[in-house]
Amino acid sequence: MKAIILAAWEGTRLRPFTNTIPKPMIKIVWKPILEHNLETIYKHVVEIVIVVKYKSEIIKDYFWNNYKWVPITYHEQVEKNGTAAAIMWIEKDLDVFIMNADTIFDKTDIETLAKYNWYWVLVKQVTEPEKYGIFKTDSDNNIREIIEKPVDFVWNLASLWIYKFNCKIIELSEKVKPSIRWEYEITDAINKFVELHPLKAIEIKKEFIDVWYPWDILSANKSLLAKLKKSEIKWEIEHWVNIKWNIILEEWAILKSWTYIEWNCYIWKNTKIWPNTYLRWETSIWDNCKIWNAVEVKNSSISDNTNIAHLSYIWDSILGNNINIGWWFITANLRHDKWNIKVPVKWILTDTWLRKFWIIIWDNCKTGINSSSMPWRVLENNTFTNPGTIIK
């Protein structure tokens, strides 16, 4: 069997992150989303095909031609749009395991499914079927039809976009006609497939993590760090460091005296945490960062080569690469009226269902000293602020 991983799209809902990287390369805790998926399936396949398009060179440079000795090839989705177009013209030689690159699944679910000899799709019951591709099944869980985002209720079993087919699905995809949106939809190929072969609907047992919006990065970060059962200390901890839960401290990372850590945290290589720093609530800090004296970081994700200067507060926030946070940077994460934080996504005001969400600062930004921000603000790539600025 070979895996086909769909990783071609930009992910416009995740801007500004996807301004510089493709969506599957957004890091969640210790690796990109795409690598989490490869880690889940590589033992069960003999070949991995990654379908690429947007900023494909970033994916190719990261993974090269294999993952843990399983060969990787790249299939460029060039002219046609849609999920059927993504798998058109891939070599038709083996059973195929098809999945999207933007959802992280539990290994135990995949290991169970990999043992089945029959063809299957992974599904979940949903309360808003109009948002999903919905499967109609018979009494034995055999799929009879898939309906894309039905207006009227037909059933509540939604596709999680992870399938096992034989290679006939590729041939059927090549015959698909464009939809009203002028996209080539794999749902049309699936409806043809179930006329030829039995296809089982298997309901997911464990949790899965969707990364659709920027705030999903923090919930995904929290979900994965919550699974950390014991600490892994690979480098230096000075005297009087207080660690209340579990952490991963990678090589050449240093925790200096009087650091206090609550809840599970992840600290990557070459990072230095200076005295009197307070880390809490599932925070991940990436490669070559410096968190200076008396900084508090809570429930946040901080990417490579980022410096946070003294006396700053970073709560419920996402920071990109190569950022310099000036001394005494304070961000507000709670509206005075205590309503949910709403965020514009593709020009539509979207409810995050969060009461606390601070700021996104993306690559190559610098903030002046003694700056602050209102709840839910974005600093786009290469932004600079003056000393004393309030980001409104």
Span of 22-26, 44-48, 178-182, 249-253 with lowest mean pLDDT:
178-182
Rounded CA-CA distance 293/272 in Å is: 11
pLDDT digits (tens, 9 = 90+) for 277-286: 999 888 999 9
pLDDT band at 78 (very low <50, low <70, confident <90, very high): confident
Amino acid in the structure at residue 41: I
**Alpha carbon distance 136, 162 (integer Å):** 17
Q: What is the pLDDT of residue 252?
A: 94
Q: Output the pLDDT for position 340.
A: 72
242-274: pLDDT as tens digits: 999 999 999 999 999 999 999 899 999 999 999
What pLDDT digit, counting tens, does each position of 231-242 carry?
999 888 999 999
14: pLDDT strictly greater than 90: no
The most confident of 6-15, 75-84, 107-116, 281-290, by mean pLDDT: 281-290
Indicate if the pLDDT at residue 129 is higher than 90: no
Give CA torsion, residues 156, 159, 164, 168, to 10 deg. 100
- d(C-alpha 283, C-alpha 267), whole Å: 9
For the segment 174-188, the average pLDDT, to the nearest whole number, is 80
Q: Which amino acid does the sequence have at 43?
A: K
The CA distance from 369 to 306, in Å, is: 15
Percent of the chain surpassing pLDDT 90:
31
Of 366, 375, 371, nearest to 390 by C-alpha is 371
Q: Out of 75, 239, 310, 336, which one is annotated catalytic? A: 310
User: C-alpha dihedral over 256, 261, 264, 265, to 10 degrees?
Assistant: -40
pLDDT score recorded for residue 11: 80
The Cα–Cα gap between 218 and 17 comes to 13
| pLDDT over 70, % of the chain | 96
pLDDT at 156: 77
Q: What is the pLDDT of residues 162-180, one digit of tens each?
A: 888 888 888 888 887 877 7
Model confidence at 337, pLDDT cuts 50, 70, 90, reads low
Show the CA angle centred on residue 61, arms to residues 60 and 64, nearest 5°: 65
Model pLDDT, residue 334: 73
pTM of the model: 0.85
Q: 192: buried, middle or exposed (CB in 10 Å: 19+, 13-18, 0-12)? A: middle
Residue 292 has pLDDT above 90, yes or no: yes
**Taking 70 as the threshold, does the pLDDT of residue 332 lie above it?**
yes
Is residue 44 part of the annotated active site? The answer reads no
User: How many angstroms separate the CA atoms of 7 and 352, rounded?
Assistant: 25
What pLDDT shows up at residue 346?
A: 66
Does domain 2-212 match CATH 3.90.550.10?
yes
Note the pLDDT of residue 277.
Answer: 94
Extract the tokens encoding 140. Answer: 């034995």
Domain boundaries, the chain: 2-212, 220-391
CA gap 275, 259 in Å, rounded: 5
- Interval 75-104 mean pLDDT: 83
On whether the 220-391 domain is CATH 2.160.10.10, my answer is yes
**For residues 341 and 334, what is the distance between their CA atoms, to the nearest angstrom?**
8
Mean pLDDT of the chain: 86
The pLDDT assigned to 336 comes to 67
